[in-house]
């Protein structure tokens, strides 16, 4: 009498959220070969799958498997520090969620890579694009604007301002007096 028909399997999970590159390879053993089955199922999305295999004596066995996928790759902008007085002192602080860790970062300004840091600093004002890639090759991008702030001195500490008349009819006068 033959040994019991068994069905083992190898699962390759989907590499990117929403993808369809999952795969299941069936590995029957025991029973009486040859077996009736498809060996490999590919182009699978995340989900639950059931498979059955029959041997030459029409003995069957079944297996259920789950093909999984990583969470969607998401970029959250935590803080934008604007450039002050053209001093190239802007910065962007982000958090990456989902995907599969080890991430690579490419920050572009005018289509040129200016940083491969997660949180770039020493930035001038401009519109930056982050191209983010995880270890599986999944990608996403985001655009972030660093603005320029000019004349950040607090004038009230150094000068006094007088605005009159109050209420205003047709003309408003502003006097700035240095202490």
> 0.85 cut: is pTM over it?
no
Question: How far apart (Å, rounded) are the C-alpha atoms in residues 10 and 2?
Answer: 24
The alpha carbon torsion through 36, 39, 43, 48 (nearest 10 deg) reads 70
Nearest to 30 by CA among 6, 14, 53, 50: 6
**Alpha-carbon gap, residue 12 to 106, rounded angstroms:** 29
Which residue shows structure tokens 């590499």? Answer: 15
Q: What string of pLDDT tens digits covers the 179 residues of the chain?
A: 889 999 999 999 999 999 999 999 999 999 999 999 888 999 999 999 999 999 999 999 999 999 999 999 999 999 999 999 889 999 999 999 999 999 999 999 999 999 999 999 999 999 999 999 999 999 999 999 999 998 645 555 556 777 788 778 888 888 777 65
Scored b (16 or more CB within 10 A) or e, 127-149 reads: ebebebbbebebebeeebebeee
């Amino acid at each position: 009498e033959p040994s019991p028909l068994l069905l083992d399997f190898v699962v390759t999970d989907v590499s990117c959220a929403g993808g369809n590159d999952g795969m299941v390879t069936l590995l029957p053993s025991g029973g009486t070969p040859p077996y009736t089955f498809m060996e490999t199922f590919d182009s699978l999305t995340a989900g639950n799958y059931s498979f059955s295999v029959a041997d030459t004596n029409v003995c069957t066995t079944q297996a259920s498997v789950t093909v999984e996928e990583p969470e969607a790759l998401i970029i959250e902008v935590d803080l934008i520090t604007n450039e002050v007085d053209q001093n190239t002192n802007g910065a962007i602080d982000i958090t990456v969620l989902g995907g599969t860790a080890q991430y690579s970062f490419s920050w572009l300004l005018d289509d040129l890579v200016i940083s491969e840091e997660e949180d770039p600093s020493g930035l001038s004002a401009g519109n930056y694009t982050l191209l983010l890639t995880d270890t599986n090759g999944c990608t996403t991008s985001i655009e972030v604007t660093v603005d320029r702030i000019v004349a950040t001195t607090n004038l009230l500490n150094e000068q006094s301002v007088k605005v009159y008349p109050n209420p205003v009819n047709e003309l408003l006068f502003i006097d700035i007096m240095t202490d």
